[in-house]
Structure 1
Amino acid sequence: MHYVSAEGLTKSFGVTPLFRNISFHINEGDKIALIARNGVGKSTLLKILSGKETPDEGKLWVHKDVTVALFEQDPHFDENKNVLENIFSSSHPVMKAISNYEDAVEQNNGDAIADAIAKMDELGAWDFESKVQQILGKLNIHHLQSQVSTLSGGQRKRVSLAKTLIDIGFEHKHTMLMMDEPTNHLDVEMIEWLEHYLNQENVTLLLVTHDRYFLDAVCDEIWELERENMYVYKGDYENYMEKKAARIESEQASIDKARNEYRKELEWMRKQPKARTTKSKSRIDNFYDVEARAKQRIEDAQLQLQMKMSRLGGKIIEMKKVYKSYGDKTILKGFDYTFSKGERIGVIGKNGVGKSTFLNILQGLEPADSGKINVGDTIIFGNFSQQGLEIKEDMRVIEYVKSFAESFPLARGGSLSAAQFLELFLFAPEKQYTYLSALSGGEKKRLQLLTILFRNPNFLILDEPTNDLDLPTLAVLENFLSEYQGCVLIVSHDRYFMDRLVDHLFVFEGEGEVRDFPGNYTQYRLWQKEEEKKQQAITVKAEETVAPKTQTSAPAKKKLSYKEKREFEDLEKELPALEEEKKTITEKMGGNISFEEITKLGNRMSEIENLLAEKEMRWLELSEMME
């Protein structure tokens, strides 16, 4: 079914064009990722498709039977209502019944629970209620009576995501879901659950995200907005990178050819006679076309920057028997670690286990309850925190950077001016004179990162640096950090970013326990899944030992329907095939393969583990029903 068609869409803000004359189609079942630099129109395009904004030019057609749902970066709520009322704002009887049931359970009101259960039975709403419970549970939304005005930014984002998923689950089947950075403020387990949920729901999806593993898991097509145009790439992120590189190379060759032609035509223009013939006028018109092509600039940002880092002495940081608690909540319990030169450590764990507190203690911004923290005399911290830019008054971008330093020293001698440094971080000359208040959220994050690096730190601490950064900026940051000679400590839910940059992990497991894991994030998840399987096997064995040998007669088992028998037969074939594929992947990962191949195999291994768990459970259910 054809969902959306757009023809010749154009949109500008003031004199700045975002995109010009773009056309596209979206069909049922399409899963598309939309990527671009911050500030070039990704969010605006989603708002146009949802009817919240209008294009300057062009035509947009949305099928009358299609419901368009938009999940925005900045959620909008009725601040005077609680979480429950905002999530279940629909007046449909089933949604109302589920809302009443959740409200009664939350308040533990026996009479109201009984009435709500009767209404749920009457409407047959239990299947949908179980999906609601899954969504709320996985997104860690429990205090439904809380006023939304009291929620943190991350909590608001999760409540908005829950509302969107519940709404599309309730709507009729023709729904196009558009999501603007849905993985921000989600921990890794939530992100992996969301990947699985979106694939299971089989929705039509248009997604803006910087999370490349999430993008590959959910989408099979990439649209890129660049230089006012839209480019379409089929396949995953790696294929997009290859095809884009080929496109840029081809465009650059075309521009070089146009420049050669331009030089010749410019000489002719200077020498042409005043009396113009029809032929010469045609050549003049062609000259201006050639001039426009010749003066194009292709910005394929790849940061090559050898910074003159402040000297790093022999002593870095020692943490000895460090304890930290907040009331009954333990953050660190006797933490010991001695940092070495050039270490790249990732910090992971569920939201709320104390990762940010650990970073603050390390820098002396927050005291430990006990223990010693010895910081080397040469250490200069560069702290990229979640708080964002610290601005006392509004000023232009270039003025803000110059307030830290006029120039940036390079390792091989010489320096970069503040303006040159800004260009390396994708701030074009005209953008450098924009006021800070007019920057997008992603542009402010990019500027925050730039000003931290401008001070030449030798111990970088990055707390969720990828939130609100676009993919081109992430590529700039990754290229810089891969060559950085100092120590790096990264807290991030971006699995691709972590896999590329860190060599071991601090895993915050809760109750003050921190595991030092020797490997990247994908390797940790594979190890974790193996440990979970071992623990499950131990539990099953213990239950079998404890179970009585004699059993009372079991109730008569239900016979399988024809459809269930066919399902059982299919499962008996699928399970061995998945086990065999898992074995093959394990063997391949033990060999000498590239990082990209490890990433692909790791993603497929996660999919297989999920499928095996799901299909084995179903096989057991059907087995128990058989006579």
Structure 2
Amino acid sequence: MPVFLSAHEISKTYGDRWLFHRVSLGVSQGDKVALVGVNGSGKSTLLKVLAGLIPPDEGEVAVTAGIRVGMMSQNPTFHEDATVLDNVLSMDHPLALAVKAYEQALTGGKAAEITAATLRMDEQQAWEFETQIRQTLTQLGVPDLHQVVRQLSGGQRKRLDLARVLLSEPDLLILDEPTNHLDLATIEWLEGHLASRQQTLLLVTHDRYFLERITNVIVELNEGQLYRYEGNYAYFLEKKEERQAQQASETDKARNLMRRELEWMRRQPKARGTKSQARIDAFYELEKKAQGPGQKAGLDLSVPTARQGKKIMEVEDLQKSLGGKRLVDDFSYAFKRKDRIGIIGPNGTGKTTFLRLLTGQLSPDAGVVDVGSTTVFGYYEQEVFDLPADKRVIDVVKETAEVMTVGKGETVSASQLLQRFQFPPARQYTPVGKLSGGEQRRIQLLRVLIRQPNFLILDEPTNDLDLITLNLLEEFLLDFEGCLLIVSHDRYFMDRLVEHLFVFEGDGKIRNFPGNYTDYRAFAQQQEATAAEVKWAEEKNRPTPTPSTAPKTSSAKKLSFKEQREYESLEAEIDSLEGRKAELIQLLSSGSENHEDLTQWAQQIETLDAELEQKTDRWLELSERAE
């Protein structure tokens, strides 16, 4: 396969340390490469170097001539007073330019300009591009094409940038944490979109289902070096373990050999000239190898929880609306000891508002939240805490508590706690502004746990955390003795930890579903298949309008030659789509042990429904004007 991008012995420093040193990497056509590594290892910096946004300190990055690179930006820029559609059409893409010219010609109203723009649209087959724009933006949660960008939320701006880079259809797509700011349904759509295309991809993500289902190459950045694995996430875990075992064996051999060399060094005369200089140099190389690869101390989340009584929290007839929008409608639930509850639903349906109602940060419009006298909340909020950038890490922790009691009178100081959370003494005096996003998240988590809660509420806890920290957090939560309430877009995280779900369905409705996220998706797909089957049966029995019965208006324009051809082909297209839809519904009804098949069939039915609706509406529109 042709190489799209190659990096040769590139290096980059941050402060007084190498983020990566003389590393090389190639991305070939069809590769779907995931870059993984611990927080602060330099993944985002490496991505920017590869994308050409910042130069390397050493080495060079080359992109093959003619290859278009598109990158989703961490801080996207837009024309703030322009609409969503105008911002998408402003990108440097032939179809976007053609549609933009056509829209401007229609606004101007000059016949010659409209004719020229129409011919350009025909030549480039750009008629469906605006529909593609609308579908992509709707899937990503930015449905209003005419909304001014200045009015968008931070999350919507990120999703608009993602839509823009997807629609630009680059040869090489570079994404940094693309699943952040997306709800679960949108992540699944993006996963399906990327999996079904012959798209060359380079991304940083901590979403393990994404890694498993999308990527075919994983590159680990560890201690400034790159390790490449030709496979998905499961293959990476297996081969990484083998590599670490081999390194440990080599380190043990080097240590045994070093002991013998050390004896030789001690027996020799002090004067270096009497010794074999080559053997002395080899000794120091051996000493370095015997130390083994640098390993950071493991994150230690083992903190005690406060004693919990029988009454945890009882919620009765809870109601809340904000800005005229109903978010919680008549919700009741009695929390039990060791509840493991996940919260899912589209963005904007009130999940964070619900958490703030439970913790007393917001007052309900009606209903009661009755918290037990022994319940101690630990609320890990979605937004990183706001602190002055020049404030030191240890001072931030001491604001919450100077010490924490961990046993019978035994206490742990703030500094000792920070060491448990991978902040060595020197790092504890670093200003907060110089920490990576993942390091700031660890500080936030420490400030929550230091209060020794017995009811943990976690709102998107996986954002900015590396895979190692995620696994350690999961192990801690599996052993956590109190109640657990989690909002997360990380499907793997939810499947591993929760036992039932609160599903926010919109308009204040909250479904209490027994099971984890995968259980719910299987249930939802079965519901969708049943509904699709009923709809198909209704449509089959409904008389189809024909050209002879379609109403005509004397004022309607006659069909152009192009429209006449389109009109004649639509009936056959509609019949073909309905036939394919019937086949898919039959497949869903038959069932499958393969969860991915069920997901794919349901998504195809959804796409077919949208296409059928569009083509039927267009057929009716044309039939009114046909003679």
Taking structure 2 as the reference length, the TM-score comes to 0.85
Identify the residue that residue 180 of structure 2 maps to in structure 1: 184
- Say which is worse superposed, 294-303 or 3-12, in terms of deviation: 294-303
Q: 1:92 to 1:178 in 2, by over 3 A?
A: closer
Identify the residue that residue 558 of structure 2 maps to in structure 1: none
Identify the residue that residue 505 of structure 2 maps to in structure 1: 509
Q: 1:470 to 1:304 in 2, by over 3 A?
A: closer
* Maintained 8 Å contact 1:304/1:479: no
Aligned partners of 2:440, 2:17: CA distance in 1, in Å? 19
Aligned partners of 2:209, 2:105: CA distance in 1, in Å? 39
* Maintained 8 Å contact 2:303/2:450: no
Aligned partners of 2:417, 2:491: CA distance in 1, in Å? 28
State the shift of 1:433 in Å: 2.6
* Maintained 8 Å contact 2:340/2:498: yes
Which of 305, 308, 312 in structure 1 is aligned with 2:308?
312
Identify the residue that residue 30 of structure 2 maps to in structure 1: 29
State the shift of 1:385 in Å: 1.0
* Maintained 8 Å contact 1:22/1:230: yes
Is 1:266 the equivalent of 2:299?
Answer: no
Is 1:218 the equivalent of 2:214?
Answer: yes
State the shift of 1:553 in Å: 10
* Maintained 8 Å contact 2:101/2:117: no
Over residues 53-97 of structure 1, what are the superposed CA-to-partner deviations in whole Å (9 max), with x where a residue is unaligned? Answer: 111112322211211211122223344544334322236664234
Over residues 119-156 of structure 1, what are the superposed CA-to-partner deviations in whole Å (9 max), with x where a residue is unaligned? Answer: 35642221322222221221222344444344321011
> Which secondary structure state, in structure 1, belongs to the residue aligned with residue 286 of structure 2?
helix
Identify the residue that residue 250 of structure 1 maps to in structure 2: 246
Alignment of 1:193-592 (within 5 A): 193-276=189-272, 280-299=276-295, 303=299, 305-391=301-387, 394-410=390-406, 414-545=410-541, 547=543, 579=587, 583=591, 585=593
* Maintained 8 Å contact 1:9/1:57: yes
Aligned partners of 2:314, 2:273: CA distance in 1, in Å? 82
State the shift of 1:276 in Å: 3.7
> Which secondary structure state, in structure 2, belongs to the residue aligned with residue 334 of structure 1?
strand
Q: 1:116 to 1:369 in 2, by over 3 A?
A: farther
Q: 1:285 to 1:582 in 2, by over 3 A?
A: farther
* Maintained 8 Å contact 1:301/1:472: no
Identify the residue that residue 153 of structure 2 maps to in structure 1: 152
- Say which is worse superposed, 366-375 or 35-44, in terms of deviation: 35-44
Q: 1:254 to 1:432 in 2, by over 3 A?
A: farther
Aligned partners of 1:363, 1:114: CA distance in 2, in Å? 64
Partner AA of 1:338 in structure 2: A
Q: 1:103 to 1:457 in 2, by over 3 A?
A: farther
Aligned partners of 1:366, 1:116: CA distance in 2, in Å? 55
Is 1:64 the equivalent of 2:65?
Answer: yes
| 5+ residue gaps, structure 2 | 551-563, 615-627
Identify the residue that residue 606 of structure 1 maps to in structure 2: 599
Aligned partners of 1:457, 1:7: CA distance in 2, in Å? 50
Identify the residue that residue 129 of structure 1 maps to in structure 2: 130
State the shift of 1:349 in Å: 0.6
Identify the residue that residue 555 of structure 2 maps to in structure 1: none
Aligned partners of 2:487, 2:529: CA distance in 1, in Å? 27
Identify the residue that residue 590 of structure 1 maps to in structure 2: none
State the shift of 1:356 in Å: 0.6
Aligned partners of 1:545, 1:84: CA distance in 2, in Å? 39
Q: 1:451 to 1:582 in 2, by over 3 A?
A: farther
Identify the residue that residue 15 of structure 2 maps to in structure 1: 14
Partner AA of 1:405 in structure 2: A
State the shift of 1:157 in Å: 0.2
Identify the residue that residue 119 of structure 1 maps to in structure 2: 117
State the shift of 1:22 in Å: 1.1
Aligned partners of 1:246, 1:413: CA distance in 2, in Å? 43
Q: 1:451 to 1:96 in 2, by over 3 A?
A: same
State the shift of 1:291 in Å: 1.6
State the shift of 1:246 in Å: 2.1
> Which secondary structure state, in structure 2, belongs to the residue aligned with residue 126 of structure 1?
coil
Q: 1:608 to 1:408 in 2, by over 3 A?
A: farther
Aligned partners of 2:211, 2:100: CA distance in 1, in Å? 33
Identify the residue that residue 47 of structure 1 maps to in structure 2: 48
Q: 1:258 to 1:91 in 2, by over 3 A?
A: closer
RMSD of equivalent CA atoms: 3.7
Partner AA of 1:153 in structure 2: G
State the shift of 1:383 in Å: 0.9
Partner AA of 1:364 in structure 2: G
- Say which is worse superposed, 296-305 or 356-365, in terms of deviation: 296-305
Q: 1:147 to 1:536 in 2, by over 3 A?
A: closer
State the shift of 1:261 in Å: 3.1
Partner AA of 1:292 in structure 2: K
Taking structure 1 as the reference length, the TM-score comes to 0.85
State the shift of 1:265 in Å: 3.0
Q: 1:235 to 1:378 in 2, by over 3 A?
A: same
- Say which is worse superposed, 334-343 or 96-105, in terms of deviation: 96-105
State the shift of 1:160 in Å: 0.8
> Which secondary structure state, in structure 2, belongs to the residue aligned with residue 457 of structure 1?
coil
Aligned partners of 1:50, 1:321: CA distance in 2, in Å? 52
* Maintained 8 Å contact 1:120/1:126: no
* Maintained 8 Å contact 1:306/1:410: no
Q: 1:549 to 1:231 in 2, by over 3 A?
A: closer
Q: 1:339 to 1:498 in 2, by over 3 A?
A: same
Aligned partners of 1:540, 1:611: CA distance in 2, in Å? 15
> Which secondary structure state, in structure 1, belongs to the residue aligned with residue 175 of structure 2?
strand
* Maintained 8 Å contact 2:327/2:507: yes
| 5+ residue gaps, structure 1 | 586-600, 622-627
> Which secondary structure state, in structure 2, belongs to the residue aligned with residue 403 of structure 1?
helix
Q: 1:44 to 1:462 in 2, by over 3 A?
A: same
Aligned partners of 1:544, 1:149: CA distance in 2, in Å? 46
**Identity percentage of aligned residues:** 44
> Which secondary structure state, in structure 2, belongs to the residue aligned with residue 533 of structure 1?
helix
Aligned partners of 2:440, 2:458: CA distance in 1, in Å? 15
Aligned partners of 2:109, 2:267: CA distance in 1, in Å? 95
Alignment of 1:80-95 (within 5 A): 81-90=82-91, 94-95=95-96
Aligned partners of 1:332, 1:184: CA distance in 2, in Å? 25
State the shift of 1:320 in Å: 0.7
